[in-house]
Chain A
Amino acid sequence: MIVGLGCVLLTNWISLAQPQVLRLAVDDLYRGVTAAKLGRYAVILFAIALAGGVFKYFMRRLVIGVSRDIEFDLRTDLFARLQAQSASYFQRHRTGEIMSCATNDMSAVRLMLGPGVMYLVNTVTVTTASVAFMLWISPRLTLLTLLPLPLVTLSAWYFGERIQRRFEGIQAQFAALSARVQENLSGIRVVRSFAREDREVEEFGALNREYQEKNLGLVRIWGLFHPSLTFLSGTAALLALWLGGHEVVRGRITLGEFVAFTVYLATLNWPMVALGWVINLWQRGLASFGRIDRILRAEAEIRSPAHPRPMPRVRGELEFRHLTFTYPGESRPALRDVTFGVPAGSTVAVVGRTGSGKSTLLSLLPRLFDPPDGTVFLDGVDVRQLDLAELRSRIAVVPQETFLFSTTVAENIAYGVERADQEQVAAAARVAQLDADVRQFPQGYQTLVGERGVTLSGGQKQRTAIARAVLRDSPVLLLDDCLSSVDTQTEERILRDLRAVMRQRTSVLVSHRVTAVRDADLILVLEEGAIVERGTHDSLLALDGRYAELHRLQLLEEELEAS
């Protein structure tokens, strides 16, 4: 960076020698000169330009390059920071918002640090040096001709700000226009059924016209901006020509000095415009940096404790002790006084209607949300006292909604496992009844699944997630209603093979189907966050309560389907 800025100084000082050569050449021409001397001047001029060019090259490369490096570091830090944030952070901040910070705000900061710094230094050095030379030629002329130049900066800044503001207005109107189109397209059936097309066209036309008006409002300023800059710098040139001409005629300066003076004046134009631009860059860059900084400073809500308890060997015994949990920002608890234990190697099933708290229960074990102190235990140790990464590495989760990454099937199955060979991946896929499907894909396990797995069916996606958990080979297995998108026969097969896996692990299984939970060591029925029935399949049927009712309904539905 320092070297880059050094190049800025060198570039400018070298370029400023050019008018001096011109001055000598013109004066010599006026007085009479040899062809050889003229040739020398031409060569010197070119040499100066060459030297200036070389430094300019390094200046740009170094300064802009450094700003790209800073952008890289900042963006990497941002990503690292975001990875440490918990689920509730992403509920509060929409992806689009964060994305805009990682892209738009990031480039605003880069522009401030790259061109923003470069042109600032450039302007300062060029201005001081040029003005010094000009003062040396003629102080009076300098003061008079420089009068319009601060106006150039001022108007660049003034217009820049106003243009920015109107531009934001246009962006907002554009967003409104887009929203309108989107609404129309999403609600196309309602539009058609009320035969409302003409009104829609009319209303869209009005918004469209307003957008045009706003754009023309910007044009009225924008159209004035560039011509007025040209005008102001032209005025300075005019003043130099006119007043300078008078000075030459009066004999106060030579013709060569006059020419050099006009050239210096011309070199001042761009830095003056740039200054106004730089001011805008800094304003925007600082605002953007504020937004980035907010993300960088946000404390992760769920962290490892400072001194985590060591976990030498995990047996997989789970315990929930008087667990009452309320989501941050809500008043009604999602779980009320839930108490149960899962001995290592056993299977507990949880049933209940949507919103009864089943998924919440599962999400507290790997601390996706934080349970209160002293409520959730793994091998008798509060999960909040364990190292977060280690805790999660001992738990395999099959979530309700499968998230696949846009890579190959194999990599999706082995996601989160450091080293897994082809055979292990295929074995896990076989347990999840996915292997046969994958073999039919054009590239087998190397088939790309597309963005979020669009090329796979819902059932295939769920089975990929199951294979993922099987491959993970951790002592605790959590299955959150993970068979909802597969048909009954496939479910039977998956359950048969999973049972072998589950026997070696402690499992908690959430499901909608009696067939899936029938064989569990313990079945819990949740209602509004509380356990209302508990027992085995047979004991719950004997109880003739909610579980028994659910069982009856499902038999009825099977019968209906068969008809």
Chain B
Amino acid sequence: MSPVDDDSPRGVDARLLQRLFGYLRPYRAQVAFAMLLALGDALLQLAGPFLTKEAIDNGIRHRDLQHLDRVAALYLSALLAGLLLNYLLTVMTQRIGQSIMLDMRRALFDHLQRLPVAYYDRNSVGRIMTRVTHDVDVLNELFTSGVISIVGDVFALVGIVIAMVQLNAELMGVTFSVLPLIVVVTLVFRVKVRRSFRDVRARLARMNAFLNENLSGMGTVQILNREPRNLELFRDVNAAHRDANLRTVFYHSLFFPVLELVGALAVSLIVWYGGRQVMWSGITLGILVAFIQYTQRFFRPISDLSEKYGILQQSMASAERIFELLDTPPDPAVARGPLVEVPRSEARLRGEISFENVWFAYQGEQWVLRDVSFRVEPGEMVALVGATGSGKTTIASLLMRFYEPQRGTIRVDGRDLRSYDVRQLRRHLGLVLQDVFLFSGTIADNLALSNGAGARESIERAAREVHAHDFIGRLNGGYDAPVRERGASLSVGQKQLLAFARALAADPDVLILDEATASVDTHTEAHIQQALRRLLVDRTSLVIAHRFSTIQDARRIVVLHHGAVREVGTHAELMDRQGIYHRLYQLQYFGARAPRRERFTHDWGEDQVALLDPGIDPA
């Protein structure tokens, strides 16, 4: 566990706090209003005991029923006002908290869209998710149950003290003699409980981890006859969890009665000391009753306050993690902003691509591409061929500028890739990946990924041209059919056709295509081949080819082996050379000749090649 993932409370960092409170700034007016409400609420809380005193002393004891009725009416209006103020206060604080959460999530999400792709290679999706979800929620707690209600509690405490001083300062002194006791009890309890809660959390985490691991590996457990032993182990972690909980039960069982006991002590003191004063120095009975009630109201805010300090501490850890993410520098390609715009007048790229002595490594000196150079002329289709791990996908990623090469230059239309505004450039490049990633939403949404709310006709036209229209029409809802679980209900072939349609609808000037290796039925295969030809017509394209028919269509074939360009030429030239391409072709060739055996040999081939070259292929 890295230090940043640690949830244990830490000191309250003033700088963090200041930065956090910066988020309150847009809501200054609301915050001020909420504070006013909290003040009003605190005042109203004082009214009850005071009115009780009035009723007893001036109403009941003077047998003044009219006064009693007046006090009752006042009491009722205080209750009603309290209801209203309390409601407004809750809604107001929650509204502020929710607005800040909204702002924070938006800022985080926005920032995530700007981080370099490499950031996602280093950090798991789960970890990043936690920042956007859990950590922001923790901060919400800080703003809603924390900041404003702390102010409310302080108001209430001060108000009660003032009210008691007004009634009888001496009696207040006697009553408050138990105050240090409360503070000590609460503090001791806090420390103990915090420690034992941390214990509970740790043991709960251990128990859950054990459960999760054993459920996932149940097959292995059963094969190895480990059930009896694991049941014993589970009993142990389960018992550890129970015992830790019982310790907190112990503290809770002790704390609340002790706190009440201290309260009873205060009441006893009031009865004893105050009672004597009633006898001899003219404190009224009403004051006595009011005192008892004030004392009871005094305890709650005190234990609340220490709880809120806990919230404050916890939120520090979350704030630190959130700010750490926000402080991660964005992708320089995006951050630097537009340099050379794709000229608006032309609005299209000619589509000339050149790789010049490009070296690239995802990590350190583990070169995935070594001195790669090749050219694609405008309107030409070039096929990249090579075994898995030879670096084909990396070339596509570099062209999309997901990563920057360490050495060498990539040019588009003769200009260095780095001189373009990256997002504009990407609009002119179309990337079709092997694994078709569909978003939740409708089919139409997924086809109109690039051109915003793309017109239905243009989408349909694209779908028709790549033969996707027919199967879309058969879906329940047609173009408005929802895509569930990333298209789990669609076949591989259908997803391919959708990816083609989506690329065609975007109408890119350069197409980068990673052809799917997955086998589909012959009917769909024929459709895919036709769709592919339609997609490539009159377009500069770089195709990571897996199908022989695609390779045959290519003007030139670039053969990659272990990250280096080993052979370049047409199919006929390369076959004549009897080199790497020739061998790769033979491996493919067996598959192409006998469809019945295709999958058989194909699988063996893929697995074998993958085994021989365990290079990094992150796509």
Q: Which residues of A contact B (CB under 8 A)?
A: 18, 22, 25-26, 29-30, 32-33, 35, 38-39, 41-43, 45-46, 48-50, 52-54, 56-61, 64-65, 68-69, 71-72, 75-76, 79-80, 82-85, 87, 90, 95, 98-99, 102-103, 174, 177-197, 199-201, 204-205, 208-209, 212, 215-216, 219-220, 222-224, 226-228, 230-231, 234-235, 237-238, 241-242, 245-246, 248-249, 255, 258-259, 353-354, 366, 368, 389, 392-393, 395, 397, 399, 403, 405-406, 415-416, 451-452, 468, 472, 484, 487, 512, 527, 546, 549-550, 553-554, 556-557, 559-561, 563
Q: Please name all residues of chain A whose beta carbon is closer than 8 Å to the beta carbon of B397 when the two chains form the complex.
A: 189
| B29 in contact (CB, < 8 A) | no
Q: How many A-B residue pairs have CB under 8 A?
A: 378
Q: Is the CB of B117 within 8 A of A238?
A: no
Q: Quick one: given A238-B75, A245-B60, are A553 and B423 in contact (CB under 8 Å)? A: no
Q: Please name all residues of chain B whose beta carbon is closer than 8 Å to the beta carbon of A192 when the two chains form the complex.
A: 117, 400, 402, 426
Q: Please name all residues of chain A whose beta carbon is closer than 8 Å to the beta carbon of B252 when the two chains form the complex.
A: 60, 64
Chain B 189-216 interface residues, beta-carbon cutoff 8 Å to A = 204, 208-209, 211-216
Q: Is the CB of A61 within 8 A of B253?
A: yes
Q: Please name all residues of chain B whose beta carbon is closer than 8 Å to the beta carbon of A25 when the two chains form the complex.
A: 271, 275
Q: Which of A84, A395, A406 contacts B213 (CB 8 A)?
A: A406
Q: Please name all residues of chain A whose beta carbon is closer than 8 Å to the beta carbon of B71 when the two chains form the complex.
A: 241-242
Q: Please name all residues of chain A whose beta carbon is closer than 8 Å to the beta carbon of B214 when the two chains form the complex.
A: 79, 83
| B138 in contact (CB, < 8 A) | no
| B218 in contact (CB, < 8 A) | yes
Chain B 77-113 interface residues, beta-carbon cutoff 8 Å to A = 79-80, 82-83, 86-87, 90-91, 94-95, 98-99, 101-102, 105-106, 109-110, 112-113
CA distance A554 to B603 in the complex (A): 12
Q: Which of B90, B133, B216, B600 contacts A181 (CB 8 A)?
A: B133
Closest A residue by C-beta to B264: A49
9 further interface pairs, Cβ-Cβ under 8 Å (given A197-B113, A226-B86, A452-B216) = A85-B218, A184-B109, A186-B437, A189-B117, A194-B426, A255-B285, A395-B223, A415-B226, A549-B590
Q: Is the CB of A235 within 8 A of B79?
A: yes
Q: Which of A30, A56, A393, A406 has the most CB of B within 10 A?
A: A56
CB distance from B295 to the nearest CB of A (A): 13
Q: Is the CB of A33 within 8 A of B275?
A: yes
Interface range, B side: 35 or more
20 CB contacts below 8 A, A to B, read: A35-B279, A75-B238, A83-B221, A177-B105, A185-B120, A185-B129, A193-B429, A199-B452, A212-B98, A216-B91, A219-B90, A242-B68, A242-B69, A366-B223, A368-B223, A395-B223, A415-B224, A554-B608, A557-B587, A560-B583
CB distance from A34 to the nearest CB of B (A): 9
Q: Is the CB of A45 within 8 A of B268?
A: yes
Q: Please name all residues of chain B whose beta carbon is closer than 8 Å to the beta carbon of A35 when the two chains form the complex.
A: 276, 279
CA distance A103 to B200 in the complex (A): 13
Closest A residue by C-beta to B603: A353
Q: Quick one: given A41-B272, A557-B612, are A234 and B79 in contact (CB under 8 Å)? A: yes
CA distance A204 to B424 in the complex (A): 22
CA distance A69 to B235 in the complex (A): 12
Q: Is the CB of A195 within 8 A of B450?
A: yes
Closest A residue by C-beta to B106: A205
| B491 in contact (CB, < 8 A) | no
Q: Is the CB of A53 within 8 A of B113?
A: no
Q: Is the CB of A102 within 8 A of B211?
A: yes
Q: Is the CB of B129 within 8 A of A181?
A: yes
Query: Could you mark each residue 270-297 of chain B with 1 if its beta carbon is under 8 Å from any beta carbon of chain A, else 0?
Result: 0110011011000001001100000000
Q: Please name all residues of chain A whose beta carbon is closer than 8 Å to the beta carbon of B98 when the two chains form the complex.
A: 212, 215-216, 219
| B72 in contact (CB, < 8 A) | yes
Q: Please name all residues of chain A whose beta carbon is closer than 8 Å to the beta carbon of B600 when the two chains form the complex.
A: 353, 527, 546
Q: Which of B79, B216, B387 contacts A238 (CB 8 A)?
A: B79
Q: Please name all residues of chain A whose beta carbon is closer than 8 Å to the beta carbon of B534 when the two chains form the complex.
A: none
Q: Please name all residues of chain A whose beta carbon is closer than 8 Å to the beta carbon of B114 when the two chains form the complex.
A: 197
Q: Is the CB of B400 within 8 A of A29?
A: no
CA distance A113 to B95 in the complex (A): 36
CB distance from B426 to the nearest CB of A (A): 5
Q: Is the CB of B234 within 8 A of A183?
A: no
CA distance A366 to B221 in the complex (A): 12
CB distance from A253 to the nearest CB of B (A): 11
Query: Could you mark each residue 550-562 of chain B with 1 if its beta carbon is under 8 Å from any beta carbon of chain A, else 0?
Result: 0000000000010
Q: Which of B69, B431, B604 contacts A553 (CB 8 A)?
A: B604
Q: Is the CB of B87 within 8 A of A223?
A: yes
Q: Which of A242, A353, A468 contacts B224 (CB 8 A)?
A: A468
| B32 in contact (CB, < 8 A) | no
